[in-house]
């Protein structure tokens, strides 16, 4: 399971996307820049997870990874539930075929309006603080509507090898484990039923051993604190954190090993989990490798000994690819010339977007086929944290097309 999901194929020099030549797909889209999402690759990824993970695991899609409306509506048939982090994402989830009871709402600083929407919809709320718990209880009481809640815990451990640490330090996310005793009496409420825990310790992790260690530490933590739940442990969100390979040297996450170790761990914890629903929330891992960001070359120039191609898309559509979304040292995403897949010759060239900033970098010193005006530049691994994580309003450029294939 160390292979990238995206197996590049071509016909007549054209990159195949969802089994169609790129030029045919773009003729349907109408113009570039464009995001193309291949549902068949997402379905393959879900199938791999179903085969590798224990049967008792419920698979949720974290909408934050890619909230494209058509994708969310379609993926509802592939997963067991959704995890949302805003009113907009909640609306998308409720628009789909997933049952509201299979939707959970996480994130710090939820507004009263968002909490009321959660109460009205009958979804599960991941509570991030004592204040948020009190607000939820007040709204549920006033509405006379029972609601189920999870305590999101800020664990006392860190998930090694994570691209972004989300536990074990002072954090806006979750309730520090050591504060639970002071919260115990507040957990008993007529309208808010605290059914379990949500633990998310880190993201973009490619290390199967580290992820498995995180599951071991999470189950040990839950064993220590489940006594605080008035009605016992009935729900556990293990978070996600499975990463995808973006850069040279990255290996795909070994989900076969993770699944084997998780199955053994759940068996060892069977008595604690006897009446408990166990959830993994995955976003990037489900859709990241199924997305392509396609641009057209508008100009090619020489500048002080370097060749530079200027394309019609950039960081306003794909901030992460530019290196301005969490990279300490910028590295190139995988880039191909989509209409020259059979060209063997290579040149060193940098690719920049059209924005009036030197930060608008698509790729630096890439080894690609000789590029000409009109060529299609494709950034791979672009299905997660692409358009929705980018400053679309910068310089008032138009939004790119998005299409689910």
Pair (254, 323) in one structural domain: no
Pair (307, 271) in one structural domain: no
Domain count along the chain: 2
Residues pairing with 367 in the sheet? 348
- 219 neighbors 260 (Cβ within 8 angstroms): no
Pair (112, 129) in one structural domain: yes
Pair (296, 151) in one structural domain: no
Q: How confident is the model at residue 31 (pLDDT cuts 50, 70, 90)?
A: very high
Above 80 in pLDDT, residue 136? yes
Pair (299, 365) in one structural domain: yes
CA distances from 383 to 80, 273, 293, 359 (A): 20, 34, 8, 22
Res 3: pLDDT? 43
Within a domain: 99: no
Res 388: pLDDT? 96
Domain holding 213, by residue range, is 106-282
Res 1: pLDDT? 30
Pair (214, 270) in one structural domain: yes
- 204 neighbors 243 (Cβ within 8 angstroms): yes
User: 246, 262, 282: which is the final residue of a domain?
Assistant: 282
Give the highest mean pLDDT range of 155-164, 170-179, 354-363. 354-363
User: 262, 282, 302: which is the final residue of a domain?
Assistant: 282
Within a domain: 66: no
| The pair of three-digit structure tokens given for residue 196, joined into one six-digit string | 């379990």
Within a domain: 168: yes
Res 172: pLDDT? 80
Pair (294, 361) in one structural domain: yes
Res 325: pLDDT? 84
Q: How confident is the model at residue 6 (pLDDT cuts 50, 70, 90)?
A: low
Q: How far apart are CA 353 and CA 319, in angstroms?
A: 11
User: 261, 282, 303: which is the final residue of a domain?
Assistant: 282
> Domain containing 257 — which CATH number?
3.20.20.10
Above 80 in pLDDT, residue 206? yes
pTM score: 0.94
Pair (308, 242) in one structural domain: no
Res 173: pLDDT? 83
Above 70 in pLDDT, residue 295? yes
* Placement of tokens 């969100």 in the chain: 237
Pair (132, 253) in one structural domain: yes
33 preceded by a cis bond (ω within 30 of 0): yes
Q: How confident is the model at residue 395 (pLDDT cuts 50, 70, 90)?
A: very high
Pair (142, 189) in one structural domain: yes
- 348 neighbors 307 (Cβ within 8 angstroms): yes
Within a domain: 74: no
Above 60 in pLDDT, residue 224? yes
Within a domain: 258: yes
Above 60 in pLDDT, residue 207? yes
Res 249: pLDDT? 87
Range 141-153 average pLDDT: 97
Q: How confident is the model at residue 326 (pLDDT cuts 50, 70, 90)?
A: confident
* 65-118 per-position pLDDT tens digit: 999 999 999 999 999 999 999 999 999 999 998 999 999 999 999 999 999 999
Pair (170, 305) in one structural domain: no
> Domain containing 16 — which CATH number?
2.40.37.10
* 251-286 per-position pLDDT tens digit: 899 999 999 999 999 999 999 999 999 999 999 999
Within a domain: 125: yes
CA distances from 3 to 149, 252, 289 (A): 38, 6, 11
Output the average pLDDT for the chain: 93
């Amino acid at each position: 399971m160390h292979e990238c999901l995206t197996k590049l194929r071509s016909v007549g020099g054209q990159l195949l996307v969802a089994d169609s030549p790129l030029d045919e797909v773009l003729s349907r889209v109408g113009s570039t820049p464009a995001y193309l999402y291949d549902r068949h690759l997402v379905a393959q990824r879900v199938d791999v997870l179903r085969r590798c993970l224990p049967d008792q695991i419920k698979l949720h899609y974290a909408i934050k990874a890619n909230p494209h409306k058509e994708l969310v509506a379609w993926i509802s048939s592939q997963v067991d539930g959704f995890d949302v982090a805003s009113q907009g994402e909640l609306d998308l989830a409720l628009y789909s075929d997933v049952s509201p009871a299979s939707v959970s709402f996480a994130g710090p600083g939820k507004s009263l309006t968002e909490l009321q929407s959660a109460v009205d919809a009958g979804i599960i709320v991941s509570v991030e603080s004592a204040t948020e718990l009190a607000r939820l209880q007040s709204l549920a009481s006033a509405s006379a509507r029972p609601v189920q809640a999870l305590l999101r815990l800020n664990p006392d451990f860190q998930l090694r090898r994570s691209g972004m640490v989300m536990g074990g330090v002072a954090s806006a996310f979750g309730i520090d484990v050591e504060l639970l005793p002071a919260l115990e009496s507040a957990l008993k409420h007529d309208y808010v039923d605290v059914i379990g825990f949500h633990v998310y310790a880190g993201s973009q992790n490619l290390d199967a051993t580290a992820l498995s260690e995180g599951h071991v530490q999470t189950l040990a933590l839950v064993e220590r604190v489940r006594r605080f739940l008035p009605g016992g442990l009935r729900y556990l969100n293990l978070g996600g954190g499975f990463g995808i390979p973006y850069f040279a040297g990255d290996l795909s996450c070994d989900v076969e090993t993770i699944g084997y170790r998780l199955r053994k761990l759940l068996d060892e914890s069977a008595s604690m989990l006897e009446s408990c629903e166990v959830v993994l929330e995955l976003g990037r891992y489900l859709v990241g490798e199924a997305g392509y960001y396609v641009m057209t070359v508008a100009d090619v120039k020489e500048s002080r000994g370097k060749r530079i191609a200027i394309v019609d898309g950039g960081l306003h559509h794909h901030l992460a690819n530019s290196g301005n979304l969490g990279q300490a040292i910028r590295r190139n995403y995988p880039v191909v010339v989509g209409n020259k897949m059979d060209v063997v010759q290579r040149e060193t060239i940098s690719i920049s977007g059209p924005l009036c900033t030197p930060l608008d970098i698509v790729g630096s010193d890439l080894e690609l086929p000789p590029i000409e005006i009109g060529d299609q530049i494709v950034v791979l691994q672009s299905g997660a944290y692409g358009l929705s994580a980018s400053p679309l309003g910068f310089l008032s450029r138009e939004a790119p097309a998005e299409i689910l294939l």
